[in-house]
Amino acid sequence: MNLSKLEVPYHAEVLQGYLGFDHTATLFHIRDGPVDPVNRPIFITNAFNFAVRIHDVVLPDEAKTMFSVQKFSGPVLIPPRESRIVFSLLFRPVRPSIHIDGNVLLITNASKFHLPVRAYTGYLEPLVLSPSLKEHLLDFGLCSSTDFSSIVFIVLNNNPIELEIKSWLVTGDSLSVELLRTDRGNRTAALGRSRELHNISASQHKTVILSSGYYAAFRVTLEAHAVEGLYDGAVHITTDYQILTIPVMAVIAVGKLNSHPEHIILPPSFPGKIVHQSLIIQSSFTQRARLHHIRSLTEDVRFYYKKLRHNRDGLEPRRKSKVANIYFDAGLQCGDRCYVGLPFVLKSEARPHGLVLQEDVWDADVDLHQKLLGRWRELKDRSGHQ
């Protein structure tokens, strides 16, 4: 099959200039309670060296719930280097409030131009990370009266403006909150850094300027040195636009958890053989406890666990519960470097050795020996064997 190529010449003329406008004129704050409609004239400046005629002004569908175009009666001609009121933008906030981030489309004789139109509440969006089961509630679950627990939460700024977090305070005894960090990212990015956020140290900043598209992470710690029963508290995050309150809940009880056996001894293994041992927990609490996660304190990738299907409801009070199997896979750390012996030769590979040795074969043998010996020494030193 013969293929032919067709080349089509084209000519483009780049127009020097732009249409200018006041960005704050299309930025609207959705306030609490009933407010009067806001009508703002939109000035457009023609920075081209020719007259621009605006034929139409089009709102995106998502903006029509709160915005409407007023006082645009037909084509508007803007001479070069001059400004005109092209239309006015009527803003009627509705409830429940949502952020609007769209563009007004200007159809002209030169091109199509986009004017950003945005409505914002100024509110921060809270997100409580695991082990809390609810995104808007700091739920510590069952806590021992002799222990302390921590939960990390973030607040996201999805507004088109920067926000100053002026203070972070708590209501409740034995409760504290500390700032960890600020970073750029959305909900997905923050969830992906959950383990990192749990392990970082507190920041010393007393206030935070949170730009649009950034989040701030906080850690709340509950020292449950109190009587048994329900615990209620709250965390308060203050900005110019709101006092964000996140409830804190816990059930404080006298009791503890014990492991059976006390020391988990896994059978002998080697790379390629995965071994496991059952984990049994005895709870002396009078209420059901929820098992969040199990992890190696050394963050060793060779250890992992699988919860048992029949134990999804947690730990039974005052009895033993088989909760998981602890696995050890020695091959997860060394991968393809677990064994440093001579590799197998596949049938499809050319065999370097024959009845007649070539002159450079001994060099290849020495190189391979040195390479494998180096791997073995590195593996031995890393594993601590003598």
**Average confidence (pLDDT) over 109-119:** 92
Structure confidence at residue 173 (pLDDT)? 85
Mean pLDDT (whole number) for 318-329: 84
Calculate mean pLDDT across residues 336-351. Answer: 51
Q: Is the pLDDT of residue 210 over 60?
A: yes
Question: Does the pLDDT value for residue 228 go beyond 80?
Answer: no
DSSP letters spanning 126-160: EEEPTT-SSTT-EEEEEEETT-EEEEEEEEE--SS
CA distance 71 to 376: 81
* pLDDT one-digit tens code per residue, 280-298: 888 877 777 777 777 666 6
> What confidence score (pLDDT) does residue 308 get?
78
Can you tell me the mean pLDDT for 193-207?
Answer: 87
Q: What is the largest CA-CA distance in the chain?
A: 97
pLDDT at 195 over 70: yes
- Is the Cβ–Cβ distance between 355 and 325 less than 8 Å? no
Looking at residues 248-274, what average pLDDT do you find? 84
Mean pLDDT of 74-93: 93
Q: pLDDT, tens digit, for every residue of 355-373? A: 455 555 566 677 777 777 8
Mean pLDDT of 110-122: 91
Average model confidence (pLDDT) across the chain: 83
**List of long-range contacts for 67-76, beta carbons under 8 Å, 24+ apart:** 67/91, 67/92, 67/100, 67/117, 67/119, 68/92, 69/104, 70/39, 71/41
pLDDT attached to residue 14: 82
The H-or-E segment that residue 58 falls in is: strand 52-58
Query: What pLDDT was estimated at residue 196?
Result: 86
In whole angstroms, what is the distance from residue 62 CA to residue 79 CA?
32
Name the band, by pLDDT with cuts 50, 70 and 90, for residue 226.
low
In the chain, the N- to C-terminal Cα span, in Å, equals: 69
Judged against a pLDDT cut of 80, whether residue 85 lies above it is answered with yes
DSSP 251-275: EEES--EEEESSS--PPP--TT-EE
Q: What is the mean pLDDT of residues 127-147?
A: 83
For the stretch 5-56, pLDDT in tens is 888 998 888 888 899 999 899 999 888 777 789 999 999 999 999 999 999 9
Place of tokens 């450079």: 360
C-alpha pair distances (Å), 241 with each of 34, 159, 163, 238, 260: 16, 11, 9, 8, 52
Look at residue 135 and tell me whether its pLDDT is greater than 60.
Answer: yes
pLDDT at 386 over 50: no
Q: pLDDT value at position 169?
A: 95
